Structure 1
Amino acid sequence: MTSTLSQILRPASYVYGTWHANPDGQTLVDAVYGRPVAVISSEGVDFAQALAYGRGVGGPAIRRLTFHARARALKALGTYLLERKEDYYALNLLTGATRRDGWVDIEGGIGTLLSYASMARRELPDERFLPDGKVERLGKGGTFVARHLLVPREGVAVQINAYNFPVWGMLEKLAPAFIAGMPSLVKPAPQTAYLTERVVRDIIASGLLPEGSLQLVTGEPGDLLDHLEEQDLVAFTGSAATAQKLKVHPTIVARNVGFNTEADSLNASVLGLTVRPGDPEFALFVREVAREMTGKAGQKCTAIRRAIVPRGRVEEVVAALRQELSKVTLGDPARDDVRMGALVSTEQRERVQRTLDALKAETSVVIGGEARDLLGGSRERGAFLDPTLLLCESPLTARGPHELEAFGPVATLLPYGTLEEAAQLARMGRGSLAGSIVTHDRAEATELVLGMASTHGRLLVLNRENAGENTGHGSPLPQLKHGGPGRAGGGEELGGLAGVRHHMNKVAVQADPTTLAAITREYVPGAEVREDVVHPFRKSFDEIGVGDSLLTHRRTVTEADIVNFAGLTGDHFYAHVDEIGAREGLFGKRVAHGYFLISAAAGQFVSPAPGPVLANYGLENLRFVEPVGIGDTIRTRLTCKRKIRKDLRPGETRPTGVVEWHAEITNQRDELVATYDILTLVERARDGADA
């Protein structure tokens, strides 16, 4: 098998509901043999119409869905794409990437879809908007309150992606945008656009996303940015220089269009002062640097460009890296015996070579410089470049290693003397997406983390404890921020739900409690409640309504209650059982255990007979406000705060939902003594979505 095609591909754009192809355009060649593989063009695409289509067709269709419905669509799409992954792996080889490199791009991208689907169902309400933060009480009487809401922007998320991750780069932006309720217009880099287009074809063919949710432009962007409006967003991944030009586009500036940048950066990995060559951490550092130099042929925005090592360990690190890099075979990535493929194009190879030549003004080559034998592929027409390690003897005064990025299999060793120097060298990159610290010394790790944190978006502390589970220096994760300050662009992607919130507008809503509860569909303390002769615990999930409430009977707390609870739990804290100590303590008297109050409240509001309430699912936001002493009388108001429908999991047959109840315990003077939220698992009726 070789990484070639039987016919030239003609990837099309998908805009305003149709596939738009052009027989003429830019010819792309494969990175391994230099043979023509595709012709791309966006000639004839009406970019104003494409944006209007996204705003007028895609946006409204997505916003009609709840967060959970969007999540179910993404989950189904992820499963659908996984079934077709071998088609993507075949095209991946043409980009110069090995199958292992492709796994990060292809299955990593699909995994991001599935991660966001799971996060949305787990952490977001089954609504089309997101209440954010707590209710703010604005008046003494409690009749004027406020809360922030997040709603989808009514524009298009324009996503301009880099060539190195044609699948993950698209899907990691599409997932949070879709969950938030925004349609995407994807503009991949030309060099690998044919792989992005293949995935988009399957997404469109699946019919799993509403029409207009996703549009694709495979060629040049033309006047796309000229037609942006205030509700649109732009997310850019690529070089810092290009990002700077796009940020000041007249339309983006005039209309204050949101712009998020994830730019290439001079990421660093620091080997701790305490690490010795025989330590597990030494081997981990060497393997990580070698892997980041050669994975995707060094074409990763998170790759290690600067390896910061103790000055006394330079020779040992060089020797270990020479041995590790000698194992790396170069050639056709379709071959099983090849570990590193080519750069994406000969043009990119020449750019890297020019930067490498500039770096040599302040460094010396300690590994590389000679051409290895290729296992398939062409040195003349392919885009191969051998791994190269440089050494900068005076890193604190040099400029090149901290300013010039060779976006390929190139790294520079920077010696240091103290931990303060190491952190300073890391910061000299002026902002990085990712950094790593390899040490087993916790004090050393702490000093380096705090010294590097201000200029990094993510820091990995790697040692023998997490070696088996860590995902590596250069691996962004859906749950964590992907971005960095300064040179790295100052933007943020992913980060769990932070990536979703970025696509939404935050508005403060001020109203009376009852009106605010009606708007947010969550109970607000002080709002009107509904009391029924039917106990709320006798109602199914479908029958319970937000605002349904129960005010319990009263109970007077006795000394026997306190003594018996102390005996039952073993909690003999002096404030509860020591008359003299309690009198001299904070409250001036013996008081009931806080957890006794919660237990007593449960006895007041629980309906004991079997019914639709299946289990207590959890307790949140507990606060003890006032002490309760012997002779005080308490009662509890339990009110349905919100409802969360749960999808059936594989093997489950009993449909359920989570009901969140707001509990308030008051005393005989109607003073609040404790407040908390209870989650109960409640049976619900089966519907079509469970079939």
Structure 2
Amino acid sequence: MIGRKHDCVYVNGAWQTAHSTDRIDLIDPATESWVASVVDGDAEDVAMAAAAARDALPGWAETSSTERANLIAALADAYDQRREEFASLVTAQNGAVISRSRRTNGTRPVALYRHYAEVARTFRAEAPGPNAQGIVRREPIGVVGIIIPWNAPQSLLAHKLGPALAAGCTVVVKPSPETSLDSLLIGEIATSVGFPAGVINVVTGGRTTGSALVEEHGIDMISFTGSTSAGRAIAARCGELLKPVVAELGGKSAAIVLDDADLSLFAEKLIATCLPNTGQVCYSCTRVIVPRSRFDEVLEVVTTTLGDAVLGSPQDPAASFGPLASATQRERVEEYIDSARAEGARVVLGGGRPAGLSTGYYVEPTVLIDVDRTMRVFREEIFGPVLVVVPHDGDEDAIRIANDSSYGLGGAVFSEDIERATDVARRMQTGGISINGQERSEAAPSSGYKDSGLGGDAGVDAHVQFKSIAWPPRTLIQGV
């Protein structure tokens, strides 16, 4: 995969020469060196993939739940055998530290595919209707266009591909241009484990490719994860086309530290909760809301923990922070830090490029205080290693500060009183909240509140349409 000029898209179970002659260069964010090039797919490439998916749909929809489950489980097993390859591919493309990439692009997709294999195994297309006077059917919605971002591409793909396949849908995957090689590898695995041709298709490309996927009449549904601005545009167009859309969008999540919090536990969970993947995760809790009575104590924990963390090559297993994904992303983060300074915020850690790392798109982990809630760094998603630490005067005030946002994707509460923390979490206007850093189960649904999403993580039922068939009284049909 690495070091090659890829001229093909994965369509109808095989590598097909692309119609588009445009190419996208992939650059290693740590070394700024060329990794590979991929096709920048055009509308004809998308149409070819959609047609293949459409042709495969009736056969795939009619396969038994057991057969679908077995193939998804085989996909999980094959992925498991190559999970280190997936992790290394993603790290070479987006600069995620290898320890994280091994989880989010290695073991976690395996767990997700295995989960959806079991979901498929127990999937029932028909069930008795109300009062047993008929049946309710769940039929696949059709061909699903999947658009995924670069920050955790394989976890996010598994979250979408798994339930779509379990529901009996066929798919066209459009990976982010920054991380395309790993999704091409999914096509290779799909063939090796015996998926019917056309069930899974992959077309690489950028914004034009994504727009073509949304516009393509052969695509019945769009499943998108990415920025709020892109999500708004996609949702607006899908609304005009009356095309169902599920969108997981941006965030500016809050971690609330209550006055009884165990700060040693908070320190242990800080990076994973607040700045995972060098802050390039939509649910990162980059607003840390701490009790005024313990502000200095908590701030010291934050600055010490981040100051001691290893920033360096993403290939270093000890590294907690690596480069940002692109030069453009680094410029964006630096502009936010500059704007914070200009608006009166104070930098107490970081704030610049690290010494000794002149090559690569690095920015130091940065902590800001004296942040007013009107400042851009408090209100806007930065997508980089930048935290704001603001004081609160009790639980009610902490909740008000946390909810003072147009976003509502993730969140966290730290307290030794789990019941109290849960009560705070109930009143936070956000879709997924951890208590003391507990990770959410793969099977747990969530929704993005406000500007953070549309449709939520609804699993299989987001990929079906419901049909109700009413019977006359006393009708019995065998098997229902």
Equivalent residue for 1:26, pick from 24, 27, 35: 24
Conserved? CA contact 1:116–1:478, under 8 Å: no
Instruction: Structure 1: state its 5+ residue gaps.
Output: 138-143, 276-280, 523-691
Report the counterpart of residue 283 of structure 2 in structure 1.
302
How much has 1:64 moved relative to structure 2? Answer: 1.9
Query: Does 1:72 pair with 2:70?
Result: yes
Query: Does 1:439 pair with 2:415?
Result: yes
Conserved? CA contact 1:267–1:302, under 8 Å: yes
Conserved? CA contact 2:119–2:166, under 8 Å: no
Report the counterpart of residue 117 of structure 2 in structure 1.
117
Report the counterpart of residue 593 of structure 1 in structure 2.
none
Conserved? CA contact 1:267–1:303, under 8 Å: yes
Query: Does 1:289 pair with 2:276?
Result: no
Structure 1 residue identity aligned to 2:212: D
**Are the structure 2 counterparts of residues 516 and 288 from structure 1 closer, same or farther at C-alpha, using a change threshold of 3 Å?**
farther
**Are the structure 2 counterparts of residues 240 and 299 from structure 1 closer, same or farther at C-alpha, using a change threshold of 3 Å?**
same
Report the counterpart of residue 509 of structure 1 in structure 2.
469
More helix by share: 2
Task: Quote the Cα distance in structure 2 between the aligned partners of 1:18 and 1:436.
Answer: 44
SS of the aligned residue for 1:333 comes to: coil
Report the counterpart of residue 167 of structure 1 in structure 2.
154
**Are the structure 2 counterparts of residues 516 and 420 from structure 1 closer, same or farther at C-alpha, using a change threshold of 3 Å?**
farther
Report the counterpart of residue 549 of structure 1 in structure 2.
none
Equivalent residue for 2:459, pick from 493, 499, 505: 499
**Are the structure 2 counterparts of residues 86 and 392 from structure 1 closer, same or farther at C-alpha, using a change threshold of 3 Å?**
same
1:123-167: per-residue Cα shift (whole Å, max 9, x none)?
Answer: 434xxx142xx6423xxxxxx9234221112x2110111111121
TM-score normalised by the chain length of structure 1:
0.64
**Are the structure 2 counterparts of residues 485 and 331 from structure 1 closer, same or farther at C-alpha, using a change threshold of 3 Å?**
same
- Identity, in percent, stands at 25
Task: Quote the Cα distance in structure 2 between the aligned partners of 1:159 and 1:514.
Answer: 44
Equivalent residue for 2:3, pick from 7, 10, 24: 7
Task: Quote the Cα distance in structure 2 between the aligned partners of 1:401 and 1:146.
Answer: 55
Conserved? CA contact 2:145–2:223, under 8 Å: yes
Counterparts of 1:545-624 in structure 2, within 5 Å, are none
Equivalent residue for 2:213, pick from 224, 248, 267: 224
Report the counterpart of residue 665 of structure 1 in structure 2.
none
Counterparts of 1:264-283 in structure 2, within 5 Å, are 264-275=250-261, 281-283=262-264
1:80-99: per-residue Cα shift (whole Å, max 9, x none)?
Answer: 11112222233233121222
Report the counterpart of residue 143 of structure 2 in structure 1.
156
SS of the aligned residue for 1:191 comes to: coil
Structure 2 residue identity aligned to 1:456: T
Structure 2 residue identity aligned to 1:458: G
Counterparts of 1:627-638 in structure 2, within 5 Å, are none
Conserved? CA contact 2:89–2:182, under 8 Å: yes
Report the counterpart of residue 353 of structure 1 in structure 2.
334
Task: Quote the Cα distance in structure 1 between the aligned partners of 2:311 and 2:422.
Answer: 39
Task: Quote the Cα distance in structure 1 between the aligned partners of 2:393 and 2:316.
Answer: 43
Conserved? CA contact 2:39–2:204, under 8 Å: yes
How much has 1:401 moved relative to structure 2? Answer: 4.0
Task: Quote the Cα distance in structure 2 between the aligned partners of 1:339 and 1:177.
Answer: 33
Equivalent residue for 1:379, pick from 333, 358, 383: 358
Equivalent residue for 1:488, pick from 452, 464, 473: 452
Report the counterpart of residue 552 of structure 1 in structure 2.
none
Task: Quote the Cα distance in structure 1 between the aligned partners of 2:143 and 2:344.
Answer: 46
Conserved? CA contact 1:156–1:185, under 8 Å: yes
Report the counterpart of residue 87 of structure 2 in structure 1.
89
Indicate the structure (1 or 2) with the bigger Cα radius of gyration. 1
**Are the structure 2 counterparts of residues 405 and 75 from structure 1 closer, same or farther at C-alpha, using a change threshold of 3 Å?**
same
Task: Quote the Cα distance in structure 2 between the aligned partners of 1:362 and 1:490.
Answer: 35
Report the counterpart of residue 320 of structure 2 in structure 1.
339
**Are the structure 2 counterparts of residues 373 and 11 from structure 1 closer, same or farther at C-alpha, using a change threshold of 3 Å?**
farther
Task: Quote the Cα distance in structure 2 between the aligned partners of 1:116 and 1:483.
Answer: 19
SS of the aligned residue for 2:246 comes to: strand
Give the superposed CA RMSD.
Answer: 2.4
Task: Quote the Cα distance in structure 2 between the aligned partners of 1:197 and 1:11.
Answer: 12
How much has 1:185 moved relative to structure 2? Answer: 0.7
**Are the structure 2 counterparts of residues 386 and 369 from structure 1 closer, same or farther at C-alpha, using a change threshold of 3 Å?**
same
Structure 1 residue identity aligned to 2:99: R
1:230-278: per-residue Cα shift (whole Å, max 9, x none)?
Answer: x7110110110111111122xx233310011101201111111233xxx
Report the counterpart of residue 619 of structure 1 in structure 2.
none
Equivalent residue for 1:388, pick from 366, 374, 390: 366
Structure 1 residue identity aligned to 2:16: H
Conserved? CA contact 1:437–1:461, under 8 Å: yes
How many aligned residue pairs are there?
A: 471
More strand by share: 1
Q: Which has the higher contact order (CA 8 A, sep 6+)?
A: 2
1:87-112: per-residue Cα shift (whole Å, max 9, x none)?
Answer: 22332331212221112222211210
Query: Does 1:366 pair with 2:348?
Result: yes
Equivalent residue for 2:430, pick from 448, 456, 467: 456
**Are the structure 2 counterparts of residues 373 and 190 from structure 1 closer, same or farther at C-alpha, using a change threshold of 3 Å?**
same
Conserved? CA contact 1:510–1:516, under 8 Å: no
Conserved? CA contact 1:159–1:186, under 8 Å: yes
Task: Quote the Cα distance in structure 1 between the aligned partners of 2:311 and 2:418.
Answer: 38
Equivalent residue for 2:295, pick from 314, 322, 346: 314
How much has 1:337 moved relative to structure 2? Answer: 3.9
**Are the structure 2 counterparts of residues 146 and 477 from structure 1 closer, same or farther at C-alpha, using a change threshold of 3 Å?**
same
Task: Quote the Cα distance in structure 2 between the aligned partners of 1:70 and 1:253.
Answer: 31
SS of the aligned residue for 1:88 comes to: helix
How much has 1:399 moved relative to structure 2? Answer: 4.4
Conserved? CA contact 2:99–2:317, under 8 Å: no
Task: Quote the Cα distance in structure 1 between the aligned partners of 2:11 and 2:302.
Answer: 48
1:406-441: per-residue Cα shift (whole Å, max 9, x none)?
Answer: 101111112111211111111112332221111122
Structure 1 residue identity aligned to 2:115: S
Report the counterpart of residue 384 of structure 2 in structure 1.
408
1:506-539: per-residue Cα shift (whole Å, max 9, x none)?
Answer: 1221003664534xx22xxxxxxxxxxxxxxxxx
Structure 2 residue identity aligned to 1:202: I
Structure 2 residue identity aligned to 1:145: Q
1:466-513: per-residue Cα shift (whole Å, max 9, x none)?
Answer: x7xx33xxxx542112431111113312xxxx4101111112210036
**Are the structure 2 counterparts of residues 27 and 442 from structure 1 closer, same or farther at C-alpha, using a change threshold of 3 Å?**
closer
Task: Quote the Cα distance in structure 2 between the aligned partners of 1:294 and 1:434.
Answer: 12
Task: Quote the Cα distance in structure 1 between the aligned partners of 2:109 and 2:2.
Answer: 27
**Are the structure 2 counterparts of residues 371 and 499 from structure 1 closer, same or farther at C-alpha, using a change threshold of 3 Å?**
same
How much has 1:327 moved relative to structure 2? Answer: 2.3
Task: Quote the Cα distance in structure 2 between the aligned partners of 1:63 and 1:443.
Answer: 45
Instruction: Structure 2: state its 5+ residue gaps.
Output: none
SS of the aligned residue for 2:410 comes to: strand
Task: Quote the Cα distance in structure 2 between the aligned partners of 1:401 and 1:79.
Answer: 43
